[in-house]
């Protein structure tokens, strides 16, 4: 595989760790390698922005037809319809507190409507997959599912409608369902993505008057793309940024025909961008718009447009809001002839705008208060505003009560804030998560506490026209989406559960029942052909549930719950399932729980252990802050040298976060015979491999006694990987040639090494120089398979797959090598086959067959897709790919790769777990799917 890289790119690339052989090379090593990471490590970070959301504004049009806004819950009598983002449509009987039925949908569920005996589910990112021989093609679009709910306990999808583009928004008006989609087409100019002229918005109408004859009534398109939608009973306004005009364009779609006929009306240009649908409102035949400029000091504009003639929109006024110059536009809400606008820079001005004369809007009053509001709910002469209180230096969720009886003198009647330190609300982005009742406000908020960690919470607030009173709270599991009152109870709907809340005493709220809507299936273990174990993790509680299930996948048999922190490893050992969790915060360390499933109906925790080391952390390591290099690889032994174990290895240096590549394929826990091996960092180790300073190492746990036996530091310049084969552990390490960690004047090189380690006896073989990094090892045949990179000229490099003969000692003899394909990324060794994912005008699967003696030959290759896919895992005969974020495909590789299965799923698995009976793909919150081997 030949590639050419600029030097800077070489130094920054994160992903390939490999090696190359040379007869002789720098540093005196027989085998040296192209060091594609260049020893470069840098700090990283992120910035979380709080986005303001909005809900449809008021209007003055007398509705000839009912207009229904999109939502994710609907209630019909005692039946609650929940559109769960992970599991599709769920029907719940609120009276009996039971799930009646669940209907899975593919794609990302967005909007739900219920009319008569039908439910209408709109999903975005719904891929249409097609098989073309052994290649998969797909297009991302949107979809409408029509579900028969006449029998709530036996619902069924009766029809689907494909929608071109990605779903932007929808409305149900009368007997017609309207969907607005966007189709993006980007071009690249000077490495900058620019929207092409072929981008467009599509508006589709579906007539649902006769539930037995639902049909697509009409479809129209606009010349510009729109991502903000406001609707009345007679028109849909689609607003979007126009790159050519450096402003927004609003297009009117005439939907006045009750049967669904559509007409594209006139459009109007608006300065600045329109952030959400609350920035538009129609009253008395006039469209009012509030927009904010990207540049020029963040100017705010107010525009009024006469929309009496859909085909001839007439701008009445376009004024710059001078008093908000330099401020960011947040909440906006219209109420009759008034508009309420909140901007923010240092303080939060609330402006009351009088639109009585739409051709001459004027500011009637103004009030400055700390913080800012993200959403406003008008209640007569009172405004209830959700927002952010930053008065104490942190961001806390707040509810403000404004009195606007006198528009010239708006007043802050009261304000309450909640959440220790930093807190935020899911209603910032989805205002329907905020509930305002006649005398109670229910506010979702999330945060982090020193005791208990992260939480998702409902805050109840009593209100009158004069004041606000904080009442009680309840903690729920999952991001809070909605709350409502029904009968004698309040209810909270989250991404994971429906909670029933006793609010008879608002100061002492109690969750009386919960119904699971979705849960995070993080892992799976097959115990036998008839029993498996689902591993479920809970973010809010930090608990892990191990649940026995029948096979093929069906109902639960028995479960136990343990608190081990973040799940980082699951292992099967006889009838036991070993769960390993980790914490990096208050009390860093590993926690181990052993669960006996000999009786699947009554699993039992038979042992627990805390291991006081700093756990390995996926993409990052906490490394000592000192210069790495020298020492001949930190205790590595060239061919012909000696090796041993050095005692001690204390590290008394400061620490810092460093990235480590490629950690996405590395595991933090391994099972080697009867020993659980935990990767870790520590200030000191009981013993150390190599003669360098050990900043990372291994904690060894005897599973028979369930006790920590020892810790072993890895005193090498850098550890490239740790792998377990049978009861042995194989440590891949590297040293930088000439001790250069960050070379600026030449292509960086390194030498790779491997060490065989027996965790049961704490004995190590010699650390020997090998031509590449570990792919797999067959101890029965003494064949080691390696991935190698070799520099050419002009920073080109060639990637190879190599086999060598090695018995764990000093001798390393080359057997065979073959070039890896262009664009090779993931390389998986699975016994007699090596599977390679590569990108070359699409994602390809290459297979290399290994003979018992280590000789290699091509096992065939295939184009998986011309779009996006990734190699998830493989076994001796099959390779499994995730395709398009919505399907798993299996290739039978017993001969040339042959596409055997294409299974559409919600979500993309990060792993495949292999059993004797089947393969299993945990999908996280999307569930789990069973696959053929």
Give me the pLDDT at residue 739, please. Answer: 47
Share of the chain above pLDDT 90, in %: 72
3-state secondary structure 421-462: CCEECHHHCCHHHCEECCCEEEEEEEEEECCCEEEEEEEEEE
Is 141's pLDDT higher than 70? yes
In this prediction, residues 766-771 reach a mean pLDDT of 97
Assess contact for 34 and 773: CB atoms under 8 A: no
| DSSP H/E element including 713 | strand 707-714
Give me the pLDDT at residue 185, please. Answer: 62
Give me the pLDDT at residue 347, please. Answer: 62
Is 519's pLDDT higher than 70? yes
Give me the pLDDT at residue 738, please. Answer: 65
- DSSP string of 759-811? TTTTEE---EEESSEEEEEETTTTEEEEEEEEE-STTEEEEEEEEEE--SSS-
Is 355's pLDDT higher than 80? yes
Assess contact for 287 and 305: CB atoms under 8 A: yes
Is 302's pLDDT higher than 80? yes
Give me the pLDDT at residue 197, please. Answer: 38
Q: Which of 306, 242, 297, 305 is nearest to 274 (CA)?
A: 242
Confidence band for 665, pLDDT divided at 50, 70 and 90? low
Give me the pLDDT at residue 73, please. Answer: 98
Is 44's pLDDT higher than 90? no
Q: Which of 271, 275, 328, 331 is nearest to 305 (CA)?
A: 271
In this prediction, residues 819-827 reach a mean pLDDT of 95
What's the CA gap between 160 and 760, in Å, rounded?
59
Give me the pLDDT at residue 16, please. Answer: 31
Q: Which two tokens stand for residue 899?
A: 């596409």
In this prediction, residues 889-902 reach a mean pLDDT of 97
CATH topology of domain 824-933: Lipocalin (2.40.128)
Cis peptide before 284 (omega within 30 of 0): no
Among 240-254, 342-356, 432-446, the least confident range:
342-356
Give me the pLDDT at residue 797, please. Answer: 84
What's the CA gap between 609 and 798, in Å, rounded?
47
How many beta carbons lie within 10 A of that of residue 337, not counting itself?
18
Give me the pLDDT at residue 321, please. Answer: 81
Cis peptide before 151 (omega within 30 of 0): no
Confidence band for 193, pLDDT divided at 50, 70 and 90? very low
Residue 175, judged by CB atoms within 10 A of its CB (0-12, 13-18, 19+), counts as: middle
For 410-423, write each residue's pLDDT tens digit.
999 999 999 877 88
Phi and psi for 210 in degrees, rounded to 5?
Answer: -110, 110
Is 148's pLDDT higher than 60? yes
Cβ contacts of residue 82 below 8 Å, gap of 6+? 72, 73, 89, 90, 91, 92, 493, 498, 517
Among 63-77, 644-658, 659-673, 786-800, the least confident range:
644-658
Give me the pLDDT at residue 554, please. Answer: 83
Give me the pLDDT at residue 928, please. Answer: 95
Residues in the chain: 933
In this prediction, residues 671-699 reach a mean pLDDT of 94
Confidence band for 683, pLDDT divided at 50, 70 and 90? confident
Q: Which two tokens stand for residue 896?
A: 């040339």
Helix (H, G, I), strand (E, B) or coil at 134: coil
Is 659's pLDDT higher than 70? no
Is 931's pLDDT higher than 90? yes
Q: What is the residue-averaged pLDDT of the chain?
A: 86
Cβ contacts of residue 242 below 8 Å, gap of 6+? 224, 248, 249, 269
Is 333's pLDDT higher than 80? yes
In this prediction, residues 806-824 reach a mean pLDDT of 96
In this prediction, residues 2-30 reach a mean pLDDT of 42
Phi and psi for 652 in degrees, rounded to 5?
Answer: -110, 65
Q: Which two tokens stand for residue 207?
A: 């007539």
Among 337-346, 687-696, 721-730, 871-880, the least confident range:
337-346
Sequence ranges of the domains in the chain:
520-605, 824-933
The model carries a pTM of 0.84
Is 646's pLDDT higher than 60? no
Strand 589-596 with 604-611, pairing: antiparallel
Confidence band for 361, pLDDT divided at 50, 70 and 90? very high
In this prediction, residues 121-137 reach a mean pLDDT of 95
Among 657-661, 676-680, 692-696, the least confident range:
657-661
In this prediction, residues 169-188 reach a mean pLDDT of 86
Give me the pLDDT at residue 633, please. Answer: 35
Give me the pLDDT at residue 189, please. Answer: 43
Give me the pLDDT at residue 339, please. Answer: 94
For 579-625, write each residue's pLDDT tens digit.
999 998 778 999 999 999 999 999 999 999 999 999 987 544 444 33
Is 630's pLDDT higher than 80? no
Of 207 and 649, more confident = 207
In this prediction, residues 140-155 reach a mean pLDDT of 96
Phi and psi for 462 in degrees, rounded to 5?
Answer: -85, 145
What angle is formed at CA 578 by the lines to CA 577 and CA 583, rounded to 5 degrees? Answer: 140
Q: Which of 170, 158, 249 is nearest to 204 (CA)?
A: 170
In this prediction, residues 753-777 reach a mean pLDDT of 97
Give me the pLDDT at residue 542, please. Answer: 80
Phi and psi for 273 in degrees, rounded to 5?
Answer: -110, 150
For 375-412, write each residue's pLDDT tens digit.
999 999 999 999 998 887 788 999 999 999 999 999 99
Of 489 and 192, more confident = 489
Of 14 and 239, more confident = 239
Assess contact for 61 and 234: CB atoms under 8 A: yes
């Amino acid at each position: 595989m030949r590639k050419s890289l600029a030097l800077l790119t070489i130094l920054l690339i994160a992903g390939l760790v490999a090696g190359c052989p040379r007869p002789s090379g720098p540093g005196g090593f027989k085998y040296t390698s192209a060091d594609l990471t260049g020893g470069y490590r840098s700090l990283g970070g992120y910035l979380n922005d709080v986005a303001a959301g909005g809900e449809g504004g008021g209007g003055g049009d007398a509705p000839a037809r009912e207009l229904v806004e999109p939502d994710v819950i609907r209630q019909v009598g005692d039946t609650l319809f929940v559109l769960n983002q992970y599991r599709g449509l769920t029907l719940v009987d609120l009276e009996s507190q039971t799930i009646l039925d669940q209907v899975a949908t593919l794609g990302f569920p967005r909007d739900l409507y219920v009319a008569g005996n039908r439910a209408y589910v709109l999903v975005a990112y719904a891929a249409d997959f097609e098989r073309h021989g052994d290649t998969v093609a797909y297009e991302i679009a949107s979809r409408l599912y029509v579900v028969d709910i006449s029998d709530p306990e036996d619902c069924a999808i009766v029809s689907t409608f494909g929608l071109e583009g990605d779903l932007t928004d929808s409305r149900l008006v009368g007997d017609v369902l309207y969907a607005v989609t966007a189709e993006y087409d980007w071009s690249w100019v000077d490495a900058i993505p620019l929207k092409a002229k072929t981008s467009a918005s599509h508006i589709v109408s579906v007539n649902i008057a006769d539930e037995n004859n639902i049909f697509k009534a009409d479809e129209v398109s606009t010349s510009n793309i729109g991502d903000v939608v406001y609707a009345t009973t007679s028109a849909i306004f689609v607003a979007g940024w126009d790159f050519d005009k450096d402003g927004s364009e609003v297009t009117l779609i005439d939907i006045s025909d009750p049967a669904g006929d559509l007409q594209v009306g006139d459009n109007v240009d608006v300065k600045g961008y329109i952030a959400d649908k609350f920035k538009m409102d129609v009253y008395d035949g006039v469209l009012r718009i509030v927009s904010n400029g990207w540049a020029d000091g963040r100017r705010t504009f107010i525009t009024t447009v006469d929309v009496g003639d859909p085909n001839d929109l007439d701008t009445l006024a376009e004024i710059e809001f001078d008093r908000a110059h330099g401020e960011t536009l947040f909440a906006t809400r219209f109420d009759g002839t008034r508009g309420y606008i909140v901007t923010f820079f240092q303080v939060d001005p609330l402006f009351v705008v009088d639109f009585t004369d739409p051709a001459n809007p004027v500011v009637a009053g103004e009030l400055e208060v700390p913080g800012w509001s993200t959403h406003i709910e008008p209640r007569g002469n009172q405004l209830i505003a959700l927002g952010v209180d930053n008065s104490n230096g942190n961001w806390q969720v707040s509810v403000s009560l404004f009195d606007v009886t006198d528009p010239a003198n708006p007043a802050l009647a009261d304000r309450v804030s909640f959440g220790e330190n930093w807190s935020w609300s899911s209603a910032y982005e989805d205002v329907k998560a905020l509930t305002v009742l006649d005398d109670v406000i229910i506010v979702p908020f999330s945060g982090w506490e020193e005791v208990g960690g992260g939480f998702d919470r409902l805050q109840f607030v009593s209100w009158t026209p004069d004041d606000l009173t904080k009442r009680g709270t309840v903690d729920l599991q999952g991001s809070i989406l909605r709350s409502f009152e029904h009968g004698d109870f309040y209810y909270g709907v989250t991404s994971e559960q429906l909670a029933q809340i006793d609010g008879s005493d608002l100061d002492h709220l109690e969750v009386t029942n919960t119904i699971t809507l979705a849960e995070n299936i993080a892992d799976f273990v097959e115990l036998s052909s008839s029993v498996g174990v689902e591993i479920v993790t809970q973010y809010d509680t930090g608990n892990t549930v191990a649940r026995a299930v029948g096979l093929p996948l069906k109902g639960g048999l028995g479960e136990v719950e343990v608190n081990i922190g973040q799940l980082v490893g699951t292992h099967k050992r006889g009838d036991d399932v070993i769960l390993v969790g980790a914490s990096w915060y208050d009390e860093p360390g590993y926690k181990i729980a052993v669960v006996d499933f000999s009786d699947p109906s009554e699993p039992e925790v038979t042992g627990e252990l805390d291991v006081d080391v700093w756990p390995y952390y996926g993409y990052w390591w906490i490394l000592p802050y000192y210069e790495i290099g020298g020492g001949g690889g930190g205790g590595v032994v060239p061919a012909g040298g000696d090796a041993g174990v050095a005692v001690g290895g204390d590290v008394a240096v400061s620490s810092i976060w460093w990235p480590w590549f490629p950690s996405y394929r590395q595991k933090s826990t391994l099972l080697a015979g009867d020993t659980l091996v935990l990767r870790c960092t520590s200030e000191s180790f009981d013993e150390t491999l190599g003669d360098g300073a050990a900043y990372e190492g291994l904690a060894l746990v005897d599973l028979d006694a369930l006790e920590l036996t020892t810790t072993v530091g890895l005193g090498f310049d850098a550890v490239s990987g740790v792998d377990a084969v049978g009861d042995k552990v194989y440590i891949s390490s590297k040293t930088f040639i000439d001790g250069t960690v960050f070379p600026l004047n030449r292509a960086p090189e390194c030498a790779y090494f491997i060490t065989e380690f027996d965790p049961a006896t704490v004995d190590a073989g010699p650390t020997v120089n090998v031509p590449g990094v570990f792919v797999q090892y067959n101890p029965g045949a003494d064949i080691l398979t390696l991935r190698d990179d070799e520099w050419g000229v002009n920073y080109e490099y060639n990637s190879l797959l190599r086999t060598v003969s090695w018995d764990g000692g000093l001798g390393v003899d080359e057997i065979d090598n073959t070039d890896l394909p262009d664009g090779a990324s993931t390389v998986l060794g699975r016994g007699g086959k090596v599977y390679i994912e590569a990108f070359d005008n699409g994602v390809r699967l290459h297979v290399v067959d290994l003979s018992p003696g280590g000789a290699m030959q091509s096992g065939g290759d295939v184009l998986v897709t011309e779009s996006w896919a990734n190699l998830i895992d493989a076994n001796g005969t099959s390779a499994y790919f995730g395709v398009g974020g919505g399907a798993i495909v299996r290739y039978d590789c017993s001969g040339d790769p042959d596409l055997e299965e294409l299974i559409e799923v919600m979500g993309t698995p990060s792993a495949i777990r292999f059993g004797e009976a089947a393969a299993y793909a945990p999908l996280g919150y999307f569930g789990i799917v069973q696959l053929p081997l």
